[in-house]
Amino acid sequence: MALPNLSKEMLLMNTSCQVVDEGWPEAWYMVEDDKVESQKHENRLTPNQPVNVKDMRALGLNYWKMDAENYKYPVKSIPWDPQEATDPRLKALRDDRGYSYADVLTIHPDFLPGFDGLVKNFFTEHIHDAEEIRYILGGSGFFDVRDPNDKWVRVHVKKGDLMTLPEGIYHRFTCDDTNFIHAMRLFIGVPCWTPINRFSTDTDNHPSRKKYVCLYCMPQELLDAEEKEEEKC
């Protein structure tokens, strides 16, 4: 299998510094869905089964620690021009990765009409045909992502976390018990927020899903064997 474009990845790491493991959000395996009493609770296994940074990277997640303390953003702005960014780190990410669109939302019963319905919708399992990029400006919430064995990994994002989920990963979002998250959504090009729900369409055969499976769900033995083959050539 062809190696990812390493030189580009290295450049991204140098300019926007996604190099350290410290500061990544906490993550853990969730209880089965039929044991979930409230989507907003932590829903950890007993005993807790943590998911470390290496495992999160292997799922295709990327993470940057941002300064959400010293740079201020509106409560709501749809859209928000990423050219207005003053944080040098956000500017570097924007320019390196081509984030040309952004908006800012506050998800809280007082700020978002139809809060309950929207939070329920966010929690419907889906994919997108592009990367999902979220910068948490305040508050906290849970992104749940499926691992290659179809188990839910719960990632607790909070103020200052900028996380990307790769195209085609099965996921969902919910507020936690605080019922408050202030977030920036970024996008390359013209945004399309319509989710492709897992169980309402033939999502397993969607090209974005197939791409994800090919990149992140291949058994390690297969990848190792292919690497050995390439070394021979």
Interface positions with ligand KMT (CB under 6 A): 107, 122, 132, 134, 141, 173, 181, 183, 185
Q: Which C-beta is closer to ligand KMT: that of 56 or that of 119? A: 119
Name every residue whose Cβ is closer than 8 Å to that of residue 71 and which is 6 or more positions away in sequence. 86, 87, 90
The backbone torsions φ and ψ at residue 29, rounded to the nearest 5 degrees and listed phi first, read -75, 140
Q: Which of ligand KMT, Ni ion, none is residue 90 near (CB under 5 to 8 Å by kind)?
A: none
CB closest to Ni ion, residue no: 132
DSSP string, 203-219: GGGSHHHHHHHHHH-S-
- Pattern 123-152, binding to Ni ion, x per CB under 5 A? ---------x--------------------
Footprint (CB under 5 A) of Ni ion, residues 36-75: none
Least distance from C-beta 165 to Ni ion, angstroms?
7
Q: Say if CB 136 and CB 158 are below 8 A apart.
A: yes
Q: Which is nearer to Ni ion, 20 or 192 (CB)?
A: 192
- Is the Cβ of residue 141 or residue 166 nearer to ligand KMT in the bound state? 141
Least distance (Å) from ligand KMT to the CB of residue 182? 9
| Closer residue to Ni ion, CB minimum distance, 132 or 176 | 132
| Maximum C-alpha span of the chain | 62
| Cβ neighbour number for residue 16 with a 10 Å cutoff | 21
Main-chain dihedrals φ then ψ at residue 35, nearest 5 degrees: -100, 0
Q: Which two tokens stand for residue 158?
A: 């909070």
Site residues, Ni ion (CB under 5 A): 132
